[in-house]
Each structure stands twice: as structure tokens, then as C-alpha cells.
Amino acid sequence: MAVTALDSDAFTRVGTALADDTRRRLLVALLEGPAYPSELADTLQLSRPNVSNHLACLRGCGLVRSREEGRRVRYELADPRLAHALQDLCGLVLPPPGPCDPEEGDE
């Protein structure tokens, strides 16, 4: 089995992004293609300031990039490999939660 070099910083940034439900929803929405914050807010039924704050976090993590188009800014996933990974994660089927599930509590 080949060992792949691990960029733990990249894992940390992706983990930070995926740790929040709103950021997960934004990333999944951006799988459909580039979008403006106002469109994302309407689609996801979120406030525009909330979407803007989370997009800033995702941009800071390096997962999305912004492109100015006149007076508007459009966001898209920063790397096609991220889109592939997110699609794989969305299709992941896991067995029912086991004893290490945080919702089960510490017994």
C-alpha cells in the first residue's frame, strides 16, 4: 500500500469547514456551480449576512474563491478535487451510530 504525504493543515481547514451545518450546506450548494451570496441565501433560506460570514470563513480556509463581477462577487469551489471529495462524502452510506457517537453520551 502506497503512503500519501499528509497535509494536516489541509485536513484541519476542511474539518473546520465541515464542522458547521451552514458551511456544509454552502459547500454542497456550490457543487451545482458558482453562485452569488444573495442566491445562496435565498436558496438555503439564510440571512445574507450569515451567508457572507460563512463564505468569508470558507474563503479563509481556502475552500472557496471569489470573483468580482462588476459590483457583485461570485463564489465557487476553489479546487475540482474538493468538488469530487464532497460528492463522495455526500454519497457515503454509514452504518448506524455506534458507541463512539457523541449523541450517545459518555457512559
Of the candidates 22, 78, 72, 27, which has an alpha carbon nearest to the alpha carbon of residue 51? 22
Residue-wise pLDDT for 11-60, tens only, equals: 888 888 889 999 999 999 999 999 999 999 999 999 999 999 999 999 99
Q: Are 72 and 36 within 8 A, CB to CB?
A: yes
In this model, does residue 106 exceed pLDDT 60? no
SS3 string of 6-73?
CCHHHHHHHHHHHCCHHHHHHHHHHCCCCECHHHHHHHHCCCHHHHHHHHHHHHHCCCEEEEEECCEE
In this model, does residue 107 exceed pLDDT 50? no
pLDDT of residue 92: 76
pLDDT band at residue 69 using 50, 70 and 90 as cut-offs: very high
CATH 1.10.10.10 is the classification of domain 17-85: yes
In this model, does residue 6 exceed pLDDT 90? no
The residues, ordered by sequence, that sit 6+ positions from 31 with a Cβ below 8 Å of its Cβ are 77, 83, 86, 87, 90
In this model, does residue 67 exceed pLDDT 80? yes
Between 89 and 28, the more confident residue is: 28
How far is it, in rounded angstroms, from Cα 70 to Cα 5?
40
pLDDT of residue 1: 45
How far is it, in rounded angstroms, from Cα 9 to Cα 80?
19
Between 105 and 83, the more confident residue is: 83
Domain boundaries, the chain: 17-85
